[in-house]
Structure 1
Amino acid sequence: MSLTILLILSLFITFGNALDLECEYVNSNWYIVGTVKNCYARNVTIQSPDQLVDSVNGDNKMTLEDVIGFWVENEICHYIPQKIVAFMPNLKAFGLSNAGLRTISKFDIAPFPDLVRLALYGNKLEYIDGDLFSLNTKIQSLNLEDNNLLVINGPILKPLKFLNQIIFVLPCLNIKCEYSGCVPEVNKEFSEKCEFDSIYPGFTKYFKSLKKVTENCNRL
């Protein structure tokens, strides 16, 4: 295949995955950050992990420094749209709800180190890495309700020292903590029951028991 054809295919793929993000701007009051300007994404369809935000409302030079919240609700968004930071560099609130989100990693939200609110409820998440929030330690409000979470591979809550609201449902723990006073108990229960639980409640206890039996057998 010639170099020219390869370049054409590359350009086709790049522009084929480009996304013009349609924003509806709404001002709202939120108790953590006060009055904010939000972008509510409309007519979104993201079914590939490499779809890049190339423009916002048709303008690929726009910078929306005053937009603090980004929300996708009841749209098709299987993956976090990439390169939003080029247009909205100062996001403090980020939400994808009822959008079919299938996966998320720390690199998806790393461009927004000042996030204080993250809402990912009503999606299809099954697995979360334990370091998901290691680069977003300012998060105060976290909602992972109504997903299909089976595996939390590590202490995801440990970096979040400012949490005052936690809502999620796991086989090992069903939590709705809406004030800072209940956070220490949530952290304790999560650490004891869920940090490395997999598939069903008690996996960690079972694994430790199995490991102990194996160690005893090896001594014989």
Structure 2
Amino acid sequence: MFEMLPPWRRGDSTLRILWRPSATITSVTGVHQNGKTNDDVIGFDSHYEILNYFPQGLDKFFGNLKSIVIYYGRIKEIHQSDLKPFPNLVNLYLENNEIEYLEPGLFEFNPHLQGVSFLDNKVTKIDPTVFDSLPQLQNIWLNQNPCINLESTGSLEGAQTVIAEAKKLCSGQKDMEDSEKCSNDWRVTCEEQKALENLKCQLNFDYKIESLANRLVEKMEKICELENNLNITSPDSAAITSVTGKHNDERTNDDVVGFDSRHKCMNHFPQGLDKYFKMLLSIVIYYGGIKEIHQSDLKPFPYLVNLYLENNEIEYLEAGLFDFNPHLQGVSFLDNKITNMDGSVFDNLYTLKNIWLDNNMCINLNSTGTLEEAKKVIDQAKTLCSGIPMLGVDVISDEEDLIDSNEE
């Protein structure tokens, strides 16, 4: 946890906000002027503060926000769940960040939005329905993005023109280079294999799911065979929407204990995996382009023993990441982009023997085989990857100041 210093001032509020590096707001202290309270705060403004994520917990302190402005925050994703707590939102300006995709239903709970800006992000795909729930949208900035460079201000008609162009230009068709790098379908096979081994030696460029005849970790028995494939289809959000196919030997999805993905561009940790495979002991994702990993991603897998997310783009390991995975014995974030990890992230993994943190920005270490050696790597990670930036925000509780802020 670290403190924003010094607090910015505007209008009649001067507050200090405590953050965790995951951009989770943990407390707000300070004194409002003129008898105001947090309920009077209608504007949140952050400039040049490295967040990486949309601030979590903001609504617990400021539930009546009408304007959220985050410039140069390196935010990589924005989701409906981030915006749902703010039904009164009128303006959302997330400029000069690293957002690549606008998902369907993003603004479903923000029907009063009149101004939206994703200027100077990395947007390559926009769901064609994303703006359909915004009947009052008059100001829209989508310029300086890879798939679009347009804006319109002051009219519903002009905004609709930009939206229509976005539907044409940002449909998200992969270019030839991406098609060559990533497998075009998601499929799984089952073969005689030790599901709990480190699977680095297998050059498999698709999904593979393995089932053990006996789920006991110590007992490696013959694994079931699948007839042909199981097919997994997924949209760009990496949400698994269906699994089809047939198990042999009277196996079912409940027998599946290993999930393996190689060179499949997902960008996100697969959502919905637990709906089909509840008993996973091993999850392996190499070269998936995954940018974030959260406790909510791993919570559905309480029996997990091995988690290998190698050659991805993960930058931060958040507090409590493994709170619901106490049986983990092997964890690998080899060759990611980690610059920061919470000091307590590995504290509840009492059986962790194998850990790979090499080829990252803040650390280049690994250890295999013993609890003691793994702990040495973890201790080094606490020293090397504590990176605590200084954060500052501006909160506004005056309508006039809010208008001035949006005009700046």
Give the number of equivalent residue pairs.
180
Distance 1:67 1:43, change over 3 A: closer
SS in 1 for 2:328: coil
> What is the one-letter code of the residue matched to 2:240?
L
Give the Cα–Cα distance (whole angstroms) in 1 for the partners of residues 267 and 231 of structure 2.
15
Structure 2 counterpart of 1:27? 192
Distance 1:41 1:76, change over 3 A: farther
Choose between structure 1 and 2 for higher RCO, CA contacts under 8 A separated by at least 6 residues.
Answer: 2
**Deviations 1:131-166, CA, capped at 9 Å, x for gaps:** 211111111001100111112134211111101100
Equivalent position to 1:197, from 365, 381, 387: 387
In percent, how many aligned pairs have the same letter?
21
Give the Cα–Cα distance (whole angstroms) in 2 for the partners of residues 41 and 57 of structure 1.
4
Give the Cα–Cα distance (whole angstroms) in 2 for the partners of residues 185 and 129 of structure 1.
20
Q: What is the Cα deviation at residue 190 of structure 1?
A: 2.4
CA RMSD of aligned residues (A): 3.3
Larger Rg computed on CA atoms:
2
| 1:172 matches 2:362 | yes
Give the Cα–Cα distance (whole angstroms) in 2 for the partners of residues 37 and 111 of structure 1.
24
SS in 2 for 1:22: strand
| 1:93 matches 2:282 | yes
Distance 1:174 1:156, change over 3 A: same
Give the Cα–Cα distance (whole angstroms) in 1 for the partners of residues 225 and 365 of structure 2.
28
Structure 1 counterpart of 2:379? 188
Q: Which runs of 5+ in 2 are unaligned?
A: 1-107, 109-128, 130-184, 198-216, 391-408
Which structure shows the higher helix fraction?
A: 1
Give the Cα–Cα distance (whole angstroms) in 2 for the partners of residues 45 and 86 of structure 1.
14
After superposition, residues 2-151 of structure 1 pair within 5 angstroms as 22-29=187-194, 30=196, 33=218, 34-35=220-221, 36=223, 46-48=235-237, 51-57=239-245, 63-151=252-340
TM (norm. structure 2) is: 0.39
Distance 1:171 1:131, change over 3 A: same
**Deviations 1:43-79, CA, capped at 9 Å, x for gaps:** 8665215x233333399xx941111100111112111
Distance 1:115 1:178, change over 3 A: same
SS in 1 for 2:379: helix
Equivalent position to 1:159, from 339, 348, 363: 348
Q: Which runs of 5+ in 1 are unaligned?
A: 1-9, 14-19, 208-220
Q: Is the 8 A contact 2:232 2:242 kept in 1?
A: no
Q: Is the 8 A contact 1:22 1:57 kept in 2?
A: no
Give the Cα–Cα distance (whole angstroms) in 1 for the partners of residues 341 and 290 of structure 2.
16
SS in 2 for 1:189: helix
SS in 2 for 1:52: coil
Give the Cα–Cα distance (whole angstroms) in 2 for the partners of residues 38 and 67 of structure 1.
11
Which structure shows the higher strand fraction?
A: 1
Distance 1:98 1:192, change over 3 A: same
Q: Is the 8 A contact 1:42 1:72 kept in 2?
A: no
Deviates more, 1:90-99 or 1:28-37: 28-37
